Amino acid sequence: MTQEAQDPQAEAPAVEQEEAFCIETVDQFGQLVTVWHKQAMATLLHLTKVPVGQMIKIGDEEPFALEGDILKGFNLGLQLALNYVGKLPFEATIEEIDTADAANQD
């Protein structure tokens, strides 16, 4: 049994691409890596909740349902990604980064 095609990213955390700016301190770099990691883990964990029968479309291929061996492969890939991304080798306290201020500092 399959469900109607839904966008599996519909409830995923929004990731906005910001303009590039110069990283001037190790603290800035650490904060950016920590934020990226948090967003990546949230997206991967969201994908682990995709229901059986969810219709998926990749590129120009025909849509297919996440069932049986395809679902097993999908879940295996997610587990590998979660293990690979896993835990950062450092801990950081995240403070907001004002990218406009960081970009304008000389």
pLDDT surpasses 60 at 10: no
Using CA atoms, how far apart are residues 64 and 77, in angstroms rounded to an integer?
17
Q: Does 68 fall in a domain?
A: yes
DSSP state, 12? S
Q: Does 55 fall in a domain?
A: yes
What's the structural domain count of the chain? 1
Q: Does 104 fall in a domain?
A: no
Q: Does 48 fall in a domain?
A: yes
Domain span at residue 58 reads 26-87
CB-side neighbour CA atoms (13 Å) of 19: 8
According to the model, what pLDDT value does residue 104 have?
A: 62
Q: Does 97 fall in a domain?
A: no
Q: Does 92 fall in a domain?
A: no
* pLDDT, tens digit (0-9, with 9 covering 90-100), for 72-92: 999 999 999 999 998 887 776
Q: Does 94 fall in a domain?
A: no
**CB-CB contact of 31 with 94 (8 Å):** yes
pLDDT surpasses 50 at 60: yes
pLDDT surpasses 80 at 8: no
